[in-house]
Amino acid sequence: MANHKSAIKRIRANEKRRVSNRYHAKTMRNAIGKFRAMTNKKEAEEMLPKLVSIIDKLAKKSIIHKNKAANLKSKITRQLETM
C-alpha cells in the first residue's frame, strides 16, 4: 500500500482514468462493429461522420494511438465504398 498522500491520490486518479478509457474504447469498438454489420449504404453514410468523430476524439485524448485511428478510419471508409 502507498505511504504518501500523493501516491494514494495517484492510485485513485489512475483507476478513474482506466475505467473511463476502457468505457470509451469499448464504446468505439461497439460502434465500429455495428457499422461493419450494416448492409444499408444510406444508413452507413449517415453513421460514418459520427464514427470518425468518436475515433478522432479518442486519438486526441491518447486513448488510442493516432496511427490506429487513421487505420480504423481508412478501413471503415473503404468498407463504405465497397457497399
What percentage of the chain reaches a pLDDT higher than 70?
100
pLDDT at 83 over 90: no
Residue length, the chain?
83
pLDDT at 1 over 90: no
Domain 5-82 in CATH 1.20.58.110? The answer is: yes
pTM of the model: 0.85
Going from N- to C-terminal start, the domains of the chain cover 5-82
C-alpha 55/C-alpha 31 separation (Å) is 10
Per-residue pLDDT at 2:
77
pLDDT at 14 over 90: yes
pLDDT tens figures, 28-41:
999 999 999 999 99
Per-residue pLDDT at 65:
97
